[in-house]
Amino acid sequence: MEINKIAVMGAGAMGHGIAQLAAMAGFDVTMRDISEEFVEAGMKKIRWSIGKFIEKGKISPSEAQNTLKRIRPLVSLKEAVEGADFIIEAVPEKLKLKQQVFKEIDGYAPAHAILATNTSALPVTEIAAATNRPEKVIGMHFFNPPALMRLVEVVMGEKTSEDTRNVTIDLAKKLGKEPVLCKKDVPGFIANRITISGTNLVAWMVYKGEYTIEEVDAAAMYKAGMPMGTFALLDFTGLDIAYHVMMFMEEREPNFNVSPLIKEKMEKGEIGVKAGKGFYTYPEKGKWAMPQISKDKAEKFDPMIQTYAMANVAAELIRNDIATTEDIDKTLKLGFNMPIGVLELADTLGIDLIVSKLREIEAEYGEFYKPSPLLEEMIKKGELGTKTGKGFYPYKK
């Protein structure tokens, strides 16, 4: 299937970035939103972003001009999807809203068109059910900002066809991205399912008074060498985004419970930088400033605690044939700028150590953290990681 025209539904934070990305890759693009005001705001952000690309010498002024010419901003949904080969929805993360949009798109889009959702966690299968073409519906989760982040999660719904999968992976590559495949429609997919498990665990530990927010973040920065801590990152990306993914997982996963620490922050509207307050306070609302945390606070907390939980969830993704080892580590490195993949790190720490730590965590925080049967099996086989020459990856002894 040849793709010439791409339609993007939504001109907000993700939508305008995806439209810009597609136009820069040479595709004709329509970008649609519900009002002229929203559409123009999206175009303004695109013009600003392209200006930055010119400043940095990444594109020439003539290339920038041609990119802008390829984007057609619209309010009419019917007009936006007419003649489109591939449609990418990027409206707010509300299941009913996405289903409504997909139903409308399905009524106007050409029969051959593929319909993709940019959701980061909502069920592709349930979104597809609003259409008469579930085999042509797929998840295409871009990371923010889409023009810069290299990763795209391609997510299969229960009825998504192989052809739809192949076309979507090919398109991601044409957009200059590195796709990873989530073979089954599980809550959180690969990226959020893995990272949210560790974040929520640490939030429970803080809520129970085992550690302070500063102790957790200081350990991440000064012991693990991360650019920022768990709670600073939640502030930076927006606590509301993580919260909605967590709540969705709580609804769908019987053993997953969102930490009250997260819920209380949401109730207060303290969702991070954009609110001026989250786990830290920001003097200028909407402007990021790195929280100043003393190195002395780093001693108490083990920054690998999140890794134990994340490796466990990752092992279950492999065991259930949802994602490959390589795609899991690529997701963590490209999607979250981690210097090493979670499974590479697990091999370095030792699978036996991880299982031992998980048993302690399970005893305190519940069955969600029960060691994966895959990890138990690896221990029986002596596949403990780098120290035995084989773990998730083979090593030269």
Could you list the active site residues? Answer: 120, 141, 153, 192
| Residue 325 neighbours by CB distance under 10 Å | 17
Cβ contacts of residue 360 below 8 Å, gap of 6+? Answer: none
Do residues 124 and 167 make contact, with C-beta atoms less than 8 angstroms apart? Answer: no
Q: CA angle at residue 252 from 246 to 255, to 5 degrees? A: 80
Q: Single out the residue of 335, 346, 363 nearest to residue 311, CA to CA.
A: 346
CB 121 within 8 Å of CB 153: no
The residues that bridge with 116 in the sheet, in sequence order, are 88, 138
Looking at residue 260, the DSSP 8-state letter turns out to be H
Q: If residue 31 lies in a helix (H) or strand (E), which one and from where to where?
A: strand 28-32
CB 168 within 8 A of CB 157: no
- Cα–Cα nearest to 123, from 193, 68, 62: 193
Question: Which one-letter DSSP state was computed for residue 397?
Answer: -
- The whole-angstrom separation of Cα 332 and Cα 318 is 15
For residue 298, give Cα distances in angstroms to 87, 220, 309: 47, 8, 20
Three-state DSSP at 229 gives coil
Whole-number Å distance between alpha carbons of 300 and 313: 25
Q: What are phi and psi of 80, to 5 degrees?
A: -65, -35
Measured CA to CA in angstroms, residue 364 lies from 72, 192, 255, 357, 359 at distances of: 55, 23, 13, 11, 9
- Token pair of 176 as six digits: 């200059």
Q: Contact, 348 vs 386, CB < 8 A?
A: yes
